[in-house]
A and B are shown apart, each in its own frame.
Chain A
């Protein structure tokens, strides 16, 4: 089983739609969680951290369920510019606090 699993998609949605991505992680000792966005042939950029109480940043809402070991990202009112790959990232403890990346979920917002 992969340490961080995501549905690779692609998710094709019309502009203005609401779309949700889920991610599951296997290491129950994981402490911090992030969503990154990666555009084609570019480096990942931090979208938002994910907190236990859930957090929102404009049209983006992230949730963490520690009991079920999953993280979600909700995008409301999708824009064409939201088209990208969304990477779920778990910061694993165990000495080096290294990031473990999911394979990413591709989103394409259609006009």
Chain B
């Protein structure tokens, strides 16, 4: 299947700092990328959908000024958690899809963020 990578795999930071997470599709061009967050023992919750070259669409309750998403190329999307706080500690997972329709999503390995 298609390969999606994420970097870093885990990050520990101090409260108030910003953290950038990269998501890359390695062997296909990702027209659409998704960012999810998963808290312990909970399901994946979609944060935002980004299409290459356009602004991300955020889900209700997700602050777009806090979670900055950039999808500048067909193989790279970045999520920046600005002024991170302990409640932002979570497992962040991206996924990528080659089309804007019903194509299968391929998931990255996730980034574990711990904010102290």
Residues of chain A at the chain B interface (Cβ within 8 Å): 31-32, 34, 41-46, 49, 87, 91, 96-104
| Known pairs A31-B102, A91-B102, A98-B34; A45 contacts B43 (CB<8 A) | no
Tell me if B42 is interfacial: C-beta within 8 Å of chain A: yes
Report the Cα distance A43→B23, complex, angstroms. Answer: 13
| Known pairs A96-B49, A98-B34, A99-B34; A46 contacts B44 (CB<8 A) | no
Tell me if B115 is interfacial: C-beta within 8 Å of chain A: no
Residues of chain B at the chain A interface (Cβ within 8 Å): 1, 32, 34, 42-46, 49, 57, 91, 93, 95, 100-102, 104-105, 107-110, 112
* Residues on A with beta carbons closer than 8 Å to the beta carbon of B110: 42-43
Please pick, from A96, A97, A104, the residue contacting B43 in the complex, using a CB distance under 8 A.
Answer: A104
Of the listed residues B32, B43, B49, B112, the one surrounded by the most CB atoms of chain A closer than 10 A to its CB is: B43
* Residues on A with beta carbons closer than 8 Å to the beta carbon of B102: 31-32, 91, 97
Of the listed residues B44, B46, B95, the one surrounded by the most CB atoms of chain A closer than 10 A to its CB is: B44
Q: How far is the CB of A34 from chain B (nearest CB, A)?
A: 8
| Known pairs A31-B102, A97-B101; A103 contacts B42 (CB<8 A) | yes
Q: How far is the CB of B71 from chain A (nearest CB, A)?
A: 14
* Residues on A with beta carbons closer than 8 Å to the beta carbon of B43: 87, 101-104
Q: How far is the CB of B75 from chain A (nearest CB, A)?
A: 18
* Residues on B with beta carbons closer than 8 Å to the beta carbon of A42: 109-110
Of the listed residues B32, B91, B101, the one surrounded by the most CB atoms of chain A closer than 10 A to its CB is: B101
Q: How far is the CB of A51 from chain B (nearest CB, A)?
A: 13
Asked whether A43 lies within 8 Å of B93 as measured between CB atoms, the reply is yes
Q: How far is the CB of B98 from chain A (nearest CB, A)?
A: 12
| Known pairs A97-B101, A98-B34, A99-B34; A43 contacts B42 (CB<8 A) | no
Report the Cα distance A91→B46, complex, angstroms. Answer: 12
30 A-B residue pairings within 8 Å (CB atoms): A31-B102, A32-B102, A34-B104, A43-B93, A43-B107, A43-B108, A43-B109, A43-B110, A44-B107, A45-B107, A46-B1, A49-B104, A91-B102, A96-B49, A96-B57, A97-B100, A97-B101, A97-B102, A98-B34, A98-B46, A98-B49, A99-B34, A99-B46, A99-B95, A99-B105, A100-B46, A101-B43, A102-B43, A103-B42, A104-B43
